Structure 1
């Protein structure tokens, strides 16, 4: 049953990335530099998010604004189409903002372990708390993509490397803090919303990775819970 569920989730994730053929064609051969004239299924929602005129009709102004958002967050194709991937990112941002300064309102991250780093995969946020007191965050993070999911459960930081070289991805990973068999908190120089996700690690912005490096030490607890959309 679990295998069937994962296959269905994977299929849903792939479907969400599909852009209608008519839209792809309207973008022309230089899709990366062209705005589509097609109205997307989430046009009104996207217009509202971006502070545009909410009329549900694609305009050149709409397209340029949507395309700028897509380019910033590495959403492809970046042709200004208000599709499910673009709206999915915006909707996630809305949900993250709604959390405010009470990320553990549901009490899912343990409050009886002292200092602990919490990771909510569903909302793609992380924070550090000491007991029930919030010490840092919440901040947006980028966790594992489908097939390389960030594993859930109770963990502990077991290694800290100021600038780790990944032999798998051939990149430097600043402020790396390993907590689960090769999975770590670390800095990346890209948007936290870039699909489809990491190779399993919890990606962070530079300032957040630095803060985690300063606040956490070997042996500190980490708790990961929830489920990332599309995994």
Structure 2
């Protein structure tokens, strides 16, 4: 879900529509990863159950309401802590850090993942971990607890730097079904790739980087509403060559910061590309009105 900051809300209220749109159209720029970009804490994992596909708070929301049927006082009193054993998850769906990158590299060694490590624990990593757990007699909940991590470490070797950060382009994700017709910039957040597709055929792929937790890249189906070969953000004063705007101020564009620092940084919501040559070629082929699909 897109979230406006307080400062953005004030700007929109205080300016006319045309001025606000103009500012929004130039809102992108790189930012450093920091505490605000940290992934949410991993949930506790039931030793005998499974975790949801997305991360959830470890404790109920203060606004949560009890169900229609509440246990009797005697029933509650009879329950002991050992009745619902939990195992602390070291890594879980939604986490993003270097330990997840190492996990993915090890799972790739074991033939359980076929995409390059990204450092983000998504559905592919969850599925690979479940498969490993099932094969090794562990509870297949899809999160990495201490027992699972020790087994994975024992079955694989410490990844090299080349395995952790392959020098070649990240392998593209399977295209979303919405990308299979027409001319599409098909952008996967999980694999961190952009595939330029025409009528279901992949013409070119490239690595991409997204906004942070506080300035997320919007997901959904959009259209290229304008192209700018040379552009500079008026808010962050950073160059945005080969910009293809698709949602207000969010655009696909080349990022020198991404090329230099890789995934150690983030954008302010744009889709950053680090291969200038590949993007330039796609920029010349793409047209205003072409579809843009951003998905997990």
CA distance in 2, matches of 1:185, 1:222: 10
The answer to which structure, 1 or 2, has the higher relative contact order (CA under 8 A, 6+ apart) is 2
TM-score (norm 1): 0.56
In structure 1, stretches of 5+ residues that fail to align are 1-5, 19-40, 52-86, 227-231
Asked if the contact 1:124/1:140 (under 8 Å) is kept, the reply is: yes
Counterpart residue number, 2:272:
203
Counterpart residue number, 2:170:
96
Counterpart residue number, 2:209:
142
What's the Cα RMSD here?
3.5
Counterpart residue number, 1:155:
222
CA distance in 2, matches of 1:109, 1:199: 25
Within a 5 Å distance, the mapping from 1:118-129 to structure 2 comes to 118-129=186-197
Could you tell me how far 1:207 is from its partner in structure 2?
Answer: 1.1
CA distance in 2, matches of 1:210, 1:188: 12
Could you tell me how far 1:119 is from its partner in structure 2?
Answer: 0.3
* Inter-CA distance 95–158: structure 2 relative to 1 (3 Å threshold): closer
Could you tell me how far 1:211 is from its partner in structure 2?
Answer: 1.6
Could you tell me how far 1:11 is from its partner in structure 2?
Answer: 4.5
1:175 aligns with 2:242: yes
Counterpart residue number, 1:50:
162
1:194 aligns with 2:258: no
Counterpart residue number, 1:185:
252
CA distance in 1, matches of 2:256, 2:37: 31
Tell me the secondary structure at the aligned position of residue 46 of structure 1. coil
Could you tell me how far 1:158 is from its partner in structure 2?
Answer: 0.5
Tell me the secondary structure at the aligned position of residue 179 of structure 2. coil
Tell me the secondary structure at the aligned position of residue 177 of structure 1. strand
Asked if the contact 2:37/2:213 (under 8 Å) is kept, the reply is: no
Counterpart residue number, 1:132:
200
CA distance in 2, matches of 1:44, 1:95: 23
> Max radius of gyration: which structure?
2
Deviations along 1:3-33, whole A, 9 cap, x unmatched?
Answer: xxx9993456999489xxxxxxxxxxxxxxx
